């Protein structure tokens, strides 16, 4: 499993912050709005929760901006889908195909480098795209859950659906605090040891950042609704 460990942000007289941002899905203007709203500077450590691409208006623009800013991101299920198709020489359709055709070699290289988990040991946070199974050590977590988990059924088995059990994060026992995305239908989740940041920007909701220290949540509104929830099978919505 690929894991990245990020050191502390650069020392700076004014601030030393970590900014974690939820699912952007190609919403470039909103990402810029959010960075402005939190007053992001090069001194901040910038981490994204994956699914930077697909559904929204400018996936490639988002990839270029986060690269330019030196941000890190975990792999989301939509990046994974693009990468798998490319490796297997499979033909994509619809929005995924459009995005795949817009990417250049640098974009692909950056996608290839996205880890499944980012550890921020200095602030006791781990970032994953979707979810973790309580009681399973971090290094033993399954890739499919990291990319797609949303719920735990009463018997503890995992589900990618939002209407199929409790949010996994409500049962996460810590001690690491987990910051994740992927669950736009549930929206902002604030559990004792887990914070869900997918607030459905691409569906006309808001784009949300967690700023540490201080656990400050900052959101900016979508410029418009860019996609319908549940219009892709990966969404796991209430079909």
Residues that bind Mn ion (CB under 5 A): 51, 76-77, 182
Tell me the closest approach of the beta carbon of residue 117 to Mn ion, in angstroms: 15
Tell me the closest approach of the beta carbon of residue 63 to Mn ion, in angstroms: 16
In what side-by-side order are the strands of the sheet with 45-48?
A: 72-73, 45-48, 18-21, 206-212, 216-221
Tell me the closest approach of the beta carbon of residue 101 to Mn ion, in angstroms: 21
Closer of 76 and 200 to Mn ion (Cβ): 76
Q: Return d(Cα 133, Cα 89) in angstroms, integer.
A: 32
Residues in a beta bridge with 21: 48, 209
| Chain position whose Cβ is nearest to Mn ion | 182
Closer of 50 and 165 to Mn ion (Cβ): 50
191: Cα within 13 Å, side-chain hemisphere: 23
Closer of 8 and 163 to Mn ion (Cβ): 163
Tell me the closest approach of the beta carbon of residue 227 to Mn ion, in angstroms: 12
Closer of 81 and 177 to Mn ion (Cβ): 81
Residues in a beta bridge with 152: 158, 166
Closer of 117 and 182 to Mn ion (Cβ): 182
Give the alpha-carbon dihedral of 64, 66, 72, 78, to 10 degrees. Answer: -70
Tell me the closest approach of the beta carbon of residue 213 to Mn ion, in angstroms: 27
Q: What does the DSSP assignment read for 134-174?
A: TTS-GGG--HHHHHH--EE-TTS-EES-TTSSEEGGGG---
Give the alpha-carbon dihedral of 139, 143, 146, 151, to 10 degrees. Answer: -110
């Amino acid at each position: 499993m690929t894991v990245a460990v990020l050191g502390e942000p650069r020392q700076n007289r004014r601030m030393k912050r970590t900014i974690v941002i939820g699912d952007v899905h190609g919403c470039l203007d909103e990402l810029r709005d959010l960075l402005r709203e939190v007053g992001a500077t090069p001194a901040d450590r910038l981490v994204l929760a994956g699914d930077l691409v697909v559904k929204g208006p400018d996936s490639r623009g988002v990839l270029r901006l986060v690269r330019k800013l030196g941000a890190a991101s975990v792999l989301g299920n939509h990046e994974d889908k693009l990468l798998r198709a490319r490796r297997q020489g499979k033909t994509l359709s619809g929005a995924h195909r459009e995005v795949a055709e817009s990417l250049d070699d640098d974009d692909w290289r950056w996608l290839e480098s996205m880890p499944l988990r980012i550890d921020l040991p200095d602030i006791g946070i781990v970032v994953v795209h979707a979810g973790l199974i309580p009681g399973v050590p971090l290094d033993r977590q399954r890739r499919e859950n990291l990319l797609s988990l949303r719920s735990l059924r009463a018997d503890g088995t995992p589900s990618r659906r939002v209407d199929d059990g409790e949010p996994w994060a409500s049962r996460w026992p810590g001690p690491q605090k987990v910051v994740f995305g992927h669950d736009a239908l549930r929206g902002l989740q604030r559990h004792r040891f887990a914070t869900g940041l997918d607030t459905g920007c691409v569906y006309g909701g808001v784009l949300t950042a967690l700023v540490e220290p201080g656990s400050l949540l900052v959101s900016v509104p979508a410029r418009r609704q860019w996609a319908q929830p549940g219009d892709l099978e990966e969404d796991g919505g209430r079909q």
